[in-house]
């Protein structure tokens, strides 16, 4: 039976000891989907939405990147990681903004949480910057799409 990795022998919250793990190349890609409406999408100008606050997607990319780098400040039991790479892309499909966050490092622990935090904060930034047009915005999902390195790789079809 699997047990939760962030509980110690007394079943109290504890950071996982990764001291004995091998350093490997670790990558993760997470996706958030933000459902916008036609009132908001009418402001789509090429590949970005323009608002009085500035370019929505460009700002969301910066916010998501900053958040991924600070994941350990937000999630209590995450290890501090120096990221080698963080790439956020935002595309549209119909009225959905698709946020993909790809993160990489050389380390003893994975970067899934950094990718998830980056995608999530980028999605929240889209919400924040578009709410002046409409509050009919839904962050539909945030999920891990793939990870490499560590014990096992994962890829969502």
Fold of 39-150: Alpha-Beta Plaits (3.30.70)
**pLDDT tens column, 29-50:** 999 999 999 999 999 999 999 9
Question: What is the pLDDT averaged over residues 131-143?
Answer: 96
Partners of residue 99 on adjacent β-strands: 32, 90
Strands 48-51 and 54-55: antiparallel
Instruction: Give the closest residue to 102 by CA, choosing from 25, 24, 30.
Output: 30
> How far is Cα of residue 47 from the mean position of the Cα atoms in its chain?
20
Structural contact between residues 113 and 15, judged by C-beta atoms closer than 8 angstroms: no
Q: Does the annotation mark 157 as catalytic?
A: no
- The active-site residue out of 128, 136, 153, 157 is 128
Q: Is the pLDDT of residue 1 over 60?
A: no
Whole-number pLDDT of residue 4: 67
**pLDDT tens column, 62-109:** 999 999 999 999 999 999 999 999 999 999 999 999 999 999 999 999
pTM score: 0.92
Quickly count: other Cβ atoms within 10 Å of residue 11's Cβ: 9
Whole-number pLDDT of residue 121: 98
Structural contact between residues 6 and 15, judged by C-beta atoms closer than 8 angstroms: yes
Going from N- to C-terminal start, the domains of the chain cover 39-150
**pLDDT tens column, 99-120:** 999 999 999 999 999 999 999 9
Q: Is the pLDDT of residue 8 over 90?
A: no
């Amino acid at each position: 039976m699997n047990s939760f990795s962030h509980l110690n022998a007394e079943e109290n919250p504890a950071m996982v000891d990764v001291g004995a793990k091998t350093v490997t190349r670790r990558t993760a890609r997470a996706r958030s989907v933000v459902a916008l409406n036609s009132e908001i999408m009418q402001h789509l100008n090429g590949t970005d939405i323009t608002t009085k606050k500035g370019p929505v997607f460009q700002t969301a990319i910066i916010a998501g990147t900053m958040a991924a780098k600070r994941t350990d400040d937000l999630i209590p039991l995450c290890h501090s990681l120096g990221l080698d790479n963080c790439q956020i892309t935002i595309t549209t499909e119909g009225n959905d903004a698709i946020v993909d966050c790809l993160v990489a490092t050389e380390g003893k622990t994975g970067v899934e949480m950094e990718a998830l935090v980056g995608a999530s904060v980028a999605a929240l930034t889209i919400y924040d910057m578009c709410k002046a047009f409409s509050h009919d915005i839904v962050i539909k999902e945030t999920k891990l799409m793939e990870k490499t390195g560590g014990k096992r790789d994962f890829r969502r079809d």
